Amino acid sequence: MAHIPDGILSLPVLAGGAALAVGGVALGLRKMDEADIPKTAILASTFFVASLVAIPVGPSSVHLLLSGLMGLVLGVRAIPAVFVGLLLQAVLFGFGGLTSLGVDVVDIAFPGVAAALVARPALERAQGWRVGAIGAAVGFVSVVGTAVCVSLALALSSADFLPSLRVIALTYVPLALAEAALTGVVVAYLRRVKPEALGFAPQLEAAA
């Protein structure tokens, strides 16, 4: 339920989410140069396709977010990438909504970017299995952050959502585990064969 449809959230929550999303997209675009465009487009496309596939979990459904991986590869540039993916999903397939687009961007992109920024110093020093472990932690924390943001947006919009928040949050547990495994494997692979994709110089990579 990371895609929150129109007509659910209150006006103050929508306005706050829109303001944060505009700031995040502007910052991401400011940090983006011509060399970043191809990998940003690839990850935006991957996010667009992966998050269209919703898997029923209890009374709700979940889908891959890839926000932790995008945060590690793109940094704040992940925010405009997520924005483009969500905008196309809303316009072409009716996933989420246009008025809730800002909140959806914040819910999905911000936790991944924040977790990646916090983990980056440790990832720079890591070798061997620790690289994958840090990537897995980023993937897991990113999903947990999205669950918290979605729950907070609903709780601030109406007290009527409070009884269902625990159930909604629990649906993110299997997703967090899946994202942890996926992000850990991909980050370990990139660190070994293409460290520049993570922002590291190739010569810094030693066989581990």
Q: Please determine, looking at this structure, whether the domain spanning 11-204 carries the CATH number 1.10.132.20.
A: no
Per residue in 106-148, pLDDT tens? Answer: 999 999 999 999 999 999 999 999 999 999 999 999 999 999 9
CA triple 128-133-139, angle to 5 deg: 140
Domain spans in the chain, listed from the N-terminal domain onward? 11-204
The pLDDT of residue 61 is 61
- pTM (predicted TM-score): 0.90
